[in-house]
Structure 1
């Protein structure tokens, strides 16, 4: 639903890259503030039990996925 209703195709390429860089930086800042105890906390996402630490790895991999899409489609 989000993608179908988004306007990413109408945005400037450099603005999209800037947005991705900003999101990456803020995520890194957030994760460096977490204690070891906080990183080990678990919750459920899409029916799967995940730790906060595991979500950090998923976020990182998801960003690589999006960068690969940008490279394939626009570079």
Structure 2
């Protein structure tokens, strides 16, 4: 089945499903790519009503923060549905445009370090804990993979539409 970004979890998971979590979260390819973008380019929007690259990076970071918190709850067997959020509201109410691109990428790297620290503390059995995300029953491991799938989706968009 072919999923689209509107499908959320299954689409993002499908982008990375064959790679293990440790490899996905430890990869530096996104950060190397972001280092190649200067401040002027980071402010670019490919259409007036679309996010700038700075806003996209801020959004990716916010997404990981939110999803890791949810993954934490799931790992502790808190019975919560892994709910959605309004990404446009979060970006609109951010300071991403005021911040330097260096500040945004540093923040992203710091969030990733925290995510890796969390991941390092999980057991195999915790990775198998099941929860519900967007009406799909999933394991914690698959939920974690979808975080990186979301990142891959947005980095692909930057490469395709901003350059």
Matched residue SS, 2:97: helix
Which structure 1 residue ranges, 5 or more long, are not aligned? none
In the TM superposition, what is the alpha-carbon distance from 1:4 to its structure 2 partner?
Answer: 2.1
In the other structure, the counterpart of 1:24 is: 112
Q: Which residue of 2 aligns with 1:9?
A: 97
- SS of 1:7's partner is coil
Superposition TM-score, scaled by structure 2 size: 0.39
SS for the counterpart of 1:8 is: coil
Q: How many residues matched? A: 74
Q: Which residue of 2 aligns with 1:49?
A: 137
| 1:69/1:23 CA distance change after superposition, 3 Å | farther
RMSD: 2.1
Say which structure is richer in helix: 1
User: What TM-score do the two structures reach when normalised by structure 1?
Assistant: 0.77
Structure of higher RCO (CA pairs closer than 8 Å, 6+ residues apart):
2
Q: Which has the higher strand share?
A: 1
